[in-house]
Structure 1
Amino acid sequence: MCVNGRRVCLAVPTNRECSATLAEVVAEADYARREFGADVHLVVLDSSGYFAEHAEVLAGAGPVWHLDEAAQRDFLVRVIRASGVSKPDLLLDLMLPGALSYGACTNRVFLIAAALGCVSVHRRDSDLYFQTYGGEKVFPIHAELLAIGLPARDAVATETRLDPALSDLPVALAGGSFVGDMSVDIEDIRGHAGYHDLVSLWAEPGASESEKRALVEESFTGSPAFDGDRSVLDVVDPMRVDMHNIAFAGLPERVPLPPATDTIGSDYFLIHVANRARLPAVVHNRHIVNFHTGERKTDAGFLAYQMRFAKFILSMYYFHFIYGRMTGDDPAAIAAIARESTWQPREPNEAQIDRMERAYRRLGGRFTGVADLIRERREVLLTEARRDIDDFVLLLEAWPALVAAARGTDVR
């Protein structure tokens, strides 16, 4: 299938050394150009200390936008100025915060893709490589380009379950999952009796014990290895796709991701929007291979990651409220629901953080240090979880103007 020069953005945000991953993604971009005729623009947002090493890998790789934080900041300043939004300094902080933010880095990709005139965004992470099958690399972009942005009736999938009434809508999402290490780095405790206590904390309020057990069993685990293409056209099940193996069309121009810092899971919001808005999606089995970097196993890396997981648990108090009430992809309506979520009494989340502390303490060993830090930072964590939603509301309200301004802004 030829996509007739359709311009697409293949993106890798990174804050670590990832030359091997970048080489894999360069090969994926070449594959999309060769096999599909796609005009692939490779965007690498590089906040690492390895810019020169990464530049060597990217040299001669076709249209490449390799941007360090200074270049990203310059682009954002020009976009924000052109947008005329209120609170420009705060919005700049939300788009390029000083702390780690999975949502913010992807939002920057979305604005750069708009500036480049790309019709779809294909996101990969810096801690992955691709499966090999029959001596060939299994590139997710193959399944993505067969569907993303096309009217659902024209999308190519091996199975269709989509309501025919939705067949005229464009495919908003195409994604797969992963094989390899768990997507959340808690594999070391999976056999521990306290594992259920911890993971079940992100269950929806009111979930039964059997529903919690099913959630714990399914959470953060991978999928079978590739053994031939299979894909399903339907409304997406958020548990079936991961943000390191996903493509979007149209949706990122309407709705940004929560810019929360120092938390995992903030970048999965659009998957839930696609589900709640009943947008056509394709879920495929060209899963990436996920691996955990050595840094995560150091004492400092371990503690930082577990605290991001803790903030994820606390954020779900608000996101469950939002997911349960969303019915579309209108940013104004989503902003209103998000704002309403912050009006909930804080006591249930206070009880949640106490349960989380006990769960970590029950795990023992180095997890006791996590429990101690949760107790020490209890008030800060609870306040930040709510404030993150306030920040998201502000970004939702500014997003249409930012996207419009980005379309008229040069990346460099």
Structure 2
Amino acid sequence: MRSICLTLPTNRPCPDTITALGEEAAYAADHFDIDVHLLVLDSCPPPDHAAHAAALRRLPAHPRITAHHLDEAAQRDFLTRVTARSGSAKPELLLDLMLPDGLSYGACTNRAFLIAAALGCDSVHRRDSDSRYQHLDGRTVFPVHHELRTLGARAADAARHVTESDLPDSLGERRVAMVGSSFVGELSVDIAQIRDADPGVYRDVVSLWAPEHWSADQKRELVEESFTGAGTEPFSRDHALLTVVDPMRVDMCNIAFHGPTVSERVPLPPARDTIGSDYFLIHLVHDARLPGVLHNRNIVNYYTGERRTGPGFLAYQTRFAKFLLSMLYFHFVYDRMTEAGDALLDEHGRARPAVVAALARESTGLDTAENTRRLDALDTAYRRLGGAYADVADHLAGSRARLLDEARGDMADFALLTEAWEAMVTAAKATPVTPAAERSR
């Protein structure tokens, strides 16, 4: 019987989300021949951690569901043993990239990938703490329904379990590497206040994540499409498409990856304090022409208040600025991956980490003049908005050199981690998650 990892990384109080995640785990175990490892990676302070633990204890017992609730100390202990066992000459650096001092969307999911490998899971199914499931006729609409019908199967076999397919027959022998959907509700990036205050400034700001050489029409189309997910239409009936999934159609709050094909081969960029750093594998799956399934069990996105006031507002807007700077490097890598196509895969149809690492490392040699211009444009836009946004502009102006250096350094870190990833996954598979299990073995 295969095992899956249904995971929720969180740094905010979310006992209700954990309860709903437990219900999704029960749905998966009741409807499919699998064992479920429900993994909560908890970076919250003790009171919130205790509330999460209580929510997990209240979940009904199920013979094929095992809950794992790891605070950062427990995660660090596991990662310390993995990095030591990996044989790396730089275990302390790898540990820092896996559990940095600061927020990292990529690193928290990388930790889930390694723990899933340690637990013997074939796939990782990620949800977010600031989202919730839709309902229809009194039943909850769980994304895992579509994920488990097709993930990891030969595309030719998966075709029987979807509504339609536009996948070329030539890709039928490849495994379904990713199953995902998007969200409905608020924008995925919390910048709707900019749009509401000044649509012109919003267009100027959002267009900054496009490649600089794009035409005005291309940038306009990107602005209209960006961060909107699946819009606002509620779920009414199932639809699943077997395809090479467009990265703009899925979101990391509603995603599942097949480990042996993707997430055990290449990690996510571990960039600190950078929105969007966890979306890389979606692009890799697309550019390598790995089969995926795009379904419509969209998750509802909402915001928590800490992003919109005081220090939380400044921190969030800085993460958004770092996202814009990261795109200089990511666009270079994405373009090269598109050119590489099938060369991104080995003879078994699995992602080739050496190719990805080489492209990431090559990108670090790019001229940063484009990013300087991005910061100039962002400064102008935020000062037009005034108020708290002018304060953000002041903060960014005082941090320009550091931000430019960090954007480049983040890609160098990604290259290093990708080069070490196979050895780390192998080590994780030989490393029990808890020290007690290690001793008993």
Give the TM-score of the pair, scaled to structure 2: 0.91
Within 5 A, what are the aligned runs for 1:14-33? 14-33=10-29
Counterpart of 1:295 in structure 2 is 306
Tell me which of 277, 281, 286 is aligned to 1:275: 286
Structure 1 residue 284 and structure 2 residue 306: aligned?
no
Within 5 A, what are the aligned runs for 1:341-356? 341-356=363-378
- The structural deviation recorded for 1:233 is 0.6
Structure 1 residue 54 and structure 2 residue 43: aligned?
no
SS state at 2:264 partner: helix
SS state at 1:233 partner: strand
- Deviations, residues 333-378 of structure 1 (Å, cap 9, x unaligned): 1111111111111212111211111122222222111111111111
- The structural deviation recorded for 1:229 is 0.4
Counterpart of 2:110 in structure 1 is 107
Q: What letter corresponds to residue 9 of structure 1 in structure 2?
A: C
SS state at 1:267 partner: coil
In structure 2, C-alpha distance between the alignment counterparts of 1:399 and 1:91, rounded to whole Å = 10
Structure 1 moving runs of 4+ over 3 Å? none
Within 5 A, what are the aligned runs for 1:247-262? 247-249=256-258, 250-262=261-273
- The structural deviation recorded for 1:6 is 2.3
In structure 2, C-alpha distance between the alignment counterparts of 1:79 and 1:218, rounded to whole Å = 41
Tell me which of 168, 171, 193 is aligned to 2:173: 168
Structure 1 residue 204 and structure 2 residue 207: aligned?
no
Structure 1 residue 321 and structure 2 residue 332: aligned?
yes
Counterpart of 1:360 in structure 2 is 382
Counterpart of 1:216 in structure 2 is 223
Structure 1 residue 310 and structure 2 residue 332: aligned?
no
- Deviations, residues 133-178 of structure 1 (Å, cap 9, x unaligned): 1111010000111111111112121110001111111100000000
Counterpart of 2:195 in structure 1 is 190
- The structural deviation recorded for 1:37 is 2.9
In structure 1, C-alpha distance between the alignment counterparts of 2:361 and 2:375, rounded to whole Å = 22
Counterpart of 2:438 in structure 1 is none
Counterpart of 1:120 in structure 2 is 123
Q: What letter corresponds to residue 258 of structure 1 in structure 2?
A: P
Structure 1 residue 383 and structure 2 residue 405: aligned?
yes
- Deviations, residues 36-93 of structure 1 (Å, cap 9, x unaligned): 2321110100010211110111115530110001100010011111110121111100
Q: What letter corresponds to residue 223 of structure 2 in structure 1?
A: V
SS state at 1:403 partner: helix
Counterpart of 1:239 in structure 2 is 248
The answer for unaligned runs of 5 or more in structure 1 is none
In structure 2, C-alpha distance between the alignment counterparts of 1:159 and 1:336, rounded to whole Å = 36
Give the TM-score of the pair, scaled to structure 1: 0.97
In structure 2, C-alpha distance between the alignment counterparts of 1:178 and 1:364, rounded to whole Å = 31
Tell me which of 62, 75, 79 is aligned to 2:78: 75
SS state at 1:146 partner: helix
- Deviations, residues 235-258 of structure 1 (Å, cap 9, x unaligned): 110000000100000300000000
Percent sequence identity is 58
In structure 1, C-alpha distance between the alignment counterparts of 2:185 and 2:84, rounded to whole Å = 43
The answer for unaligned runs of 5 or more in structure 2 is 345-350, 435-441
Structure 1 residue 334 and structure 2 residue 345: aligned?
no
In structure 1, C-alpha distance between the alignment counterparts of 2:385 and 2:276, rounded to whole Å = 22
Instruction: Give aligned pairs, total.
Output: 408
